[in-house]
Structure 1
Amino acid sequence: MKKLVLLACVALLCGCSTYTTPGAGVSLAAISENDGDIAAAFQREPAITFPARLAVARVAAPGYRSGSNNSVGTGAFGIVTTRDIETDESFARLGAMPQVLAVAPVSRLLVPANLGTTRDLRAAAAQLRADALLVYTIDTRFRTESADVGPLQTIALGFLPTRKAVVNATCAFMVIDVRTGFVYGTGETTATEDQRSNLWGSEQAIEAARLRAERRAFEDGLGEVARLWTSILQQHAGARPAG
């Protein structure tokens, strides 16, 4: 009898739609350059000149993948270069910030296969002749009223309880001096998509909810980047002559 019940369960699962949650973001603190002690950290100084060129890199946990993207690189983190939540208008917002001369994404062709710290990203940004580097990561989590679902977990959509389901997407970022590694500032924003989980009856529906949450978190993050950039200008513009 137990075998019959088990076989019935397997048959039900095989006929049920499934969805695999995206991989995790990465802790920006964990991939930052480690100076070893506080005194060494204080030796890093801002060296930005204005107008400034801004390089942009999205990072994630190694082996990151989602329904619309994946990371490249091994080691402490990977780099995500395919745009699924970013648009041309997103980069235009960055380019419209005061004293920004140009904005350039960091290409996978410029980074080493094994990524250890943000120093690897600074080296790539230097090849683009960038003065500052915006590094950001997107971390997305799913949960229902009864359970949290971790990264890269497979959900049997037909067996989700008929309760509220939530997608939380967090965009964390930092702005770094390409020449010295000085961190100008950090920030994060979170966006939420929630609805009754019985509406997530297909992979397409839950994927659309994920993308909406991630896009909103990213766009809200750009607003925080703009505010941070204003602060950077107030503190450092005019401190060093351009050129």
Structure 2
Amino acid sequence: MKKYNNFLAVILLSVIAISCAVNYTTPGGDVKISNLADEDISKILQNKPSAEFPVNIAVARIQAPNYTNYVYQNRYARTENSGQNFSMILTRDADEEVSFAELGKLKGIKQISPFNKLLLPYNYKTIKDLRLAAAKMKASMLLVYTFDSQFSIDNKNYGPQNIFSLGYLKNKNVKVRTTASAALFDVQTEYLYGLAEATAEQNKTSNAWKKQDEVDNLRIETEKESFKKLSSQIKEMWNGVVDEYKK
């Protein structure tokens, strides 16, 4: 019986040691879309809308340079963005694809399409670079969106690319807050048609989580919820764009 108890103790200590040794890295940051616009303020103020309805819309998800998250770094090579101001995320989950398909059915939209990697410039630093790629797709509007996912553990905030041990999470409250933001530009002139933003939160009390997946599921659920809300905001914004600019 004593040997059996000792064996159980060894197993328990091993499990604790493993959970303490496993780390989770928070996802990379978002991009302040406004910072990527043309630096000539006077030119921005003179920009005029040029799109003719119905329109083709190119869609781009951008994040901070060298962005990665748990799923992305395990499935895809880390993107190196030396000298660039943002990362292009060319993979989308099923929910995003469904949302874009629904947006494509709105009045005034002929087609809405994600970026093709082959059309992207090697170095991209501003919205102008994305507009050039959108023009190759015969798109007259460019929809850009980004996620800002923030972790907090018992009210202690963890910014982008922070590392914490899963052993540290035992019986702690973990919260993920994601803000999804989008901007709609004129491809030809960089005129800003509208902005949309939505936020979602997920809370969970950990119970000795042993796998990074268990933590990352919170991020995934939160980003999906925020994107669903963002899609609704984009629909409202688009209806306003059609009412104001469709001739």
TM-score class, shorter: 0.7 to 0.9
- TM-score, length-scaled by structure 2: 0.85
Q: Distance in 2 between matches of 1:174 and 1:67?
A: 26
1:137 aligns with 2:146: yes
Alpha-carbon spacing, 1:177–1:184, altered in 2? closer, same or farther (3 Å):
same
Alpha-carbon spacing, 1:72–1:190, altered in 2? closer, same or farther (3 Å):
farther
Structure 2 residue corresponding to 1:108, chosen from 103, 117, 137: 117
1:43 aligns with 2:46: yes
Structure 2 residue corresponding to 1:202, chosen from 196, 211, 217: 211
Q: Distance in 1 between matches of 2:102 and 2:181?
A: 18
Shift of 1:48: 1.1
The CA RMSD measured in Å over matched residues stands at 2.1
Q: Distance in 2 between matches of 1:73 and 1:105?
A: 20
Select between 143-152 and 208-217 the one with higher mean Cα deviation.
143-152
Select between 151-160 and 79-88 the one with higher mean Cα deviation.
79-88
Q: Distance in 1 between matches of 2:80 and 2:242?
A: 33
* AA partner of residue 90 (structure 2): T
Identity of aligned residues (%): 31
Q: Distance in 2 between matches of 1:73 and 1:98?
A: 37
The answer to whether the 8 Å contact 2:170/2:208 transfers is no
Where do 5+ consecutive residues of structure 1 fail to align?
A: 1-10, 239-243
Q: Distance in 2 between matches of 1:26 and 1:140?
A: 12
Alpha-carbon spacing, 1:46–1:160, altered in 2? closer, same or farther (3 Å):
same
Q: Distance in 1 between matches of 2:209 and 2:194?
A: 38
**Equivalent residue, structure 1, for 2:30:** 25
- For residues 87-106 of structure 1, the C-alpha deviation after alignment (integer angstroms, 9 at most, x for no partner) is 43122111111111011111
- TM-score, length-scaled by structure 1: 0.87
- For residues 173-209 of structure 1, the C-alpha deviation after alignment (integer angstroms, 9 at most, x for no partner) is 1000011100011121111110113364421111111
Q: How many aligned positions are there? A: 227
Q: Distance in 2 between matches of 1:222 and 1:59?
A: 16
The answer to whether the 8 Å contact 1:13/1:156 transfers is no
Q: Distance in 2 between matches of 1:15 and 1:192?
A: 26
The answer to whether the 8 Å contact 1:167/1:213 transfers is yes
**Equivalent residue, structure 2, for 1:216:** 225
Q: How does 1:1-243 map to 2 (within 5 A)?
A: 12=17, 16-35=21-40, 37=41, 39-69=42-72, 71=79, 73-74=81-82, 75-84=84-93, 86-160=95-169, 162-198=171-207, 200-238=209-247
Select between 70-79 and 213-222 the one with higher mean Cα deviation.
70-79
The answer to whether the 8 Å contact 1:72/1:79 transfers is no
Shift of 1:171: 0.5
Shift of 1:33: 1.8
Q: Distance in 1 between matches of 2:160 and 2:192?
A: 29
Structure number with the higher helix fraction is: 2
Q: Distance in 1 between matches of 2:174 and 2:22?
A: 17
Q: Distance in 2 between matches of 1:156 and 1:216?
A: 26
The answer to whether the 8 Å contact 2:58/2:142 transfers is yes
